[in-house]
Amino acid sequence: MISRIIKDENVRRLARMLDEAQRVVTVCHMGPDGDAVGSSLALAHVLDRLGKDVRCIIPDATSSLLMRLPEAKEMVDACRHPDFARTLLRDADLIFCLDFNDPARVDRLKDALLAAKAPKVMIDHHENPSDFASVTISHPEMAATCYLLFRVLCRLELLPELDATAATQLLAGILTDTGGLSYNSSDPELYVVVAELLRHGADKPMLYKLLFNTVSENSMRLNAYAVDRKMEVHHDMGAALIALSRAELNRYHYSKGDTESLVNKPLAIPGVVYSCFLREEEHYIKVSMRSQGDFPVNEICAAHFGGGGHLNAAGGQFQGTLEEACDAFRALMNENKKKYIDKK
Ligand code: 5GP
Ligand code: MN
């Protein structure tokens, strides 16, 4: 029904590790999105049904909306409970690394993750995995970690444990990473998996409402302000930039997730090929980029902002002031135009 993409050897090793493990921990990347949270929760749910002691660790808080996913409140936020998170990693028999492929992506948990004695299993869909896990299941061609995780569960013959809760959690990740099946979603087999999740009881209407049609009044006003007052559209460069300072964020009582889809908005303007959003955090500037077609924002984020991601969705960080970050982005526009846009 769907092709077998995961190496037999990895399936066998993973099955053996699961047999031998009782205390299982999942970890995902910092700033957990729907795919990171969805894959963590779904795997934990299925393994819990198998009788394992499972805990999900998130390196820092996720959005209040994602906290409404089933069982999300059971996750351990390592920012709020650093010692507990480290103890869980230290005492685990098996650690799943979900939706990231480099230890740097778990931020302050990096040392505890690398020091943990338990074997690590990476299940991820980002490019260029680093070699830190005992089992690496890395498939950048998969639209979401949740999509890949479904395939892993299928190969482990664990689909009988996939109830409506786990199916909903997996679908949350697929919908998040494809913008509700709008981009990066032309793989026909993705729909076979979505159909299977629906058959298992995934609550699609709830997810669409939660992920795409729920917004706080503050967030709605902040996004409207950002687009109206702060968006620079460089038509001749095929680029757009939005930057928000702490003061502006505070004015709208910003909370995590409030600007989640802002970076996508300029892409709707004809001629805008890529978009950059800069958000002033306490100690750095958070960089988010999105693009369409084959414009590689992951290359730009890796080369200039110490980050990475996917071809059309990437991020990174900038050390300096917000204005310096804006200048750094503007300075790249000419080069980007020559390298990626004009050559067509
Ligand atoms: P976002 O802009 O929503 O934070 O991230 C978009 C994509 O880029 C996600 O797939 C995320 O994993 C990746 N990404 C975001 N920030 C970073 C970063 O600092 N480093 C790396 N390697 N990837 C990032
Ligand atoms: Mn993902």
Model confidence over 42-53: pLDDT tens digits?
A: 999 999 999 999
pTM as predicted: 0.93
C-alpha span between 310 and 321 (Å, rounded): 26
Q: How far is CA 256 from CA 90, 218, 253, 279, 325, in A?
A: 29, 12, 10, 11, 21
34 lines ligand 1 (CB under 6 A): no
| Best mutation site among 27, 62, 277, 310 for ligand 1 pocket (most ligand atoms within 8 Å of CB) | 310
Say whether 225 sits in a helix, a strand or coil: helix
Indicate if ligand 1 lies below 6 Å from the C-beta of 279: no
- Please give the Cα distance from 161 to 102 (Å, whole number): 29
Closest-lying ligand 1 atom to the alpha carbon of residue 289 = 2
Question: Average pLDDT of the chain?
Answer: 97
pLDDT of residue 2: 93
**CB of 17 closer than 8 Å to CB of 135:** yes
Long-range contacts of 90-93 (CB under 8 A, 24+ apart): 90/115, 90/116, 90/117, 91/23, 92/21, 92/23, 92/24, 92/25, 92/116, 92/118, 93/20, 93/21, 93/22, 93/23, 93/24, 93/118
Distance in Å, CA 236 to ligand 2 centroid: 32
Who contacts 342 (Cβ-Cβ below 8 Å, separation ≥6)?
A: none
Whole-number percent of the chain with pLDDT over 70:
100
What confidence score (pLDDT) does residue 1 get? 78
Residue from 126, 259, 278 whose mutation best tests the ligand 1 pocket (most atoms within 8 A of CB): 126
> What's the pLDDT at 341?
87
Give me ligand 1 centre to Cα 161, in Å. 31
Q: Could you give the domains of the chain?
A: 8-212 (3.90.1640.10), 217-341 (3.10.310.30)
User: 77 alpha carbon to ligand 1 midpoint, in Å?
Assistant: 19
pLDDT at 344 over 70: no
Which atom of ligand 1 lies closest to the CA of 260? 3
User: pLDDT digits over 290-334, tens only?
Assistant: 999 999 999 999 999 999 999 999 999 999 999 999 999 999 999
For the CA of 276, the nearest ligand: 1
Query: Taking residues 229-233, what's their average pLDDT?
Result: 98
Q: What angle do CA 88, 92, 97 make, to 5 degrees?
A: 85
- For the stretch 153-211, pLDDT in tens is 999 999 999 999 999 999 999 999 999 999 999 999 999 999 999 999 999 999 999 99
Residue 94: pLDDT over 90: yes
Q: What is the pLDDT of residues 6-42, one digit of tens each?
A: 999 999 999 999 999 999 999 999 999 999 999 999 9
Over residues 131-154, mean pLDDT? 98
314 lines ligand 1 (CB under 6 A): yes
8-state DSSP, 228: I
Residue 33 Cα: closest atom of ligand 1: 3
Q: Which of 138, 263, 301 to mutate to test the pocket of ligand 1 (most atoms within 8 A of CB)?
A: 301
59 lines ligand 1 (CB under 6 A): no
